[in-house]
Amino acid sequence: MTVLATGDDGVTRCAWAHGTPLYERYHDEEWGRPVRDERGLFERLSLEAFQSGLSWLIILHKRPAFRQAFADFDVPTVAAFDDDDRARLMADRGIVRNQAKINATIGNAVAAMELHDRGEPLADLLWSFAPSDPRPAPSSFDEVPASTAESGAMAAALKRLGFRFVGPTTCYALMQAVGMVNDHLAGCDARTTVEQSRG
């Protein structure tokens, strides 16, 4: 199995990102880079939930429409969405029109606001589950887990707080996306850049 691929631009990437410009940009510029602001974290948590059962490439193509439909994932705004907004979202062909996921996203914004009311920002909660000791660089995708003890603990904590579509696998995908872990493979050009951005 090919684990790394070098593009025409001379960049060596994890093979999953090779060959599709949108995937390549996401891999090179976003995946694994630390995200610590609430809007950015809420967007990625929401998109990971919408991705469940679908290709991530579908979500990337629809991301601009998602941002427009969900007020750029501004938590207070989404938390205030009403039945008219739900109907609007279900009619929006630009996004994934899944009623359970739409309702979960709005409900998750409400849960995030309740966290604020208790003086605990969403970013602080999520980042509290980041592993303290980084794993060695994986040499193949077989060494990259689908979930971990930390993602399981994150999922359990979020569910207790009323969040939905936040299982251990979804939470681990979030951890990968926002730089809590670095799962770029050994030899991938982005791995060193991500390590430097994580401090």
Kindly state the average pLDDT of the residues 102-124.
Answer: 97
Amino acid letter for position 31? W
Cα distances from 174 to residues 8, 12, 27, 45, 96, in angstroms, run 29, 23, 14, 6, 19
Give residue 133's pLDDT. Answer: 85
Least confident range from 84-93, 135-144, 170-179: namely 135-144
What's the whole-number average pLDDT of the chain?
Answer: 95
Flag whether pLDDT at 193 surpasses 80: yes
The pLDDT of residue 2:
73
User: Which of 23, 48, 127, 172 does the annotation list as catalytic?
Assistant: 48
User: For residue 198, what pLDDT is reported?
Assistant: 67
User: Of 24, 56, 120, 143, which is the active-site residue?
Assistant: 56
Residue 31: active-site member: no
pTM to 2 decimal places: 0.95
Q: What's the mean pLDDT in 81-90?
A: 98
What would the mean pLDDT of 16-41 be, rounded to a whole number? Answer: 96
Note if 26 is an active site residue: yes
| Distance separating alpha carbons of residues 79 and 55, to the nearest angstrom | 27
Phi then psi for 5, rounded to 5 degrees?
A: -145, 140
Could you count the other beta carbons within 10 Å of the beta carbon of residue 23? 18
Q: What is the pLDDT of residues 53-62, one digit of tens each?
A: 999 999 999 9
CA separation for the pair 104, 165 (Å, rounded): 7
What would the two tokens of residue 114 be? Answer: 């309740």
pLDDT digits (tens, 9 = 90+) for 128-156: 999 988 889 999 999 999 999 999 999 99
Going by pLDDT thresholds of 50, 70 and 90, the confidence category of residue 199 is low
CATH architecture of 4-194: Orthogonal Bundle (1.10)
Catalytic-labelled residue, pool 23, 26, 31, 127: 26
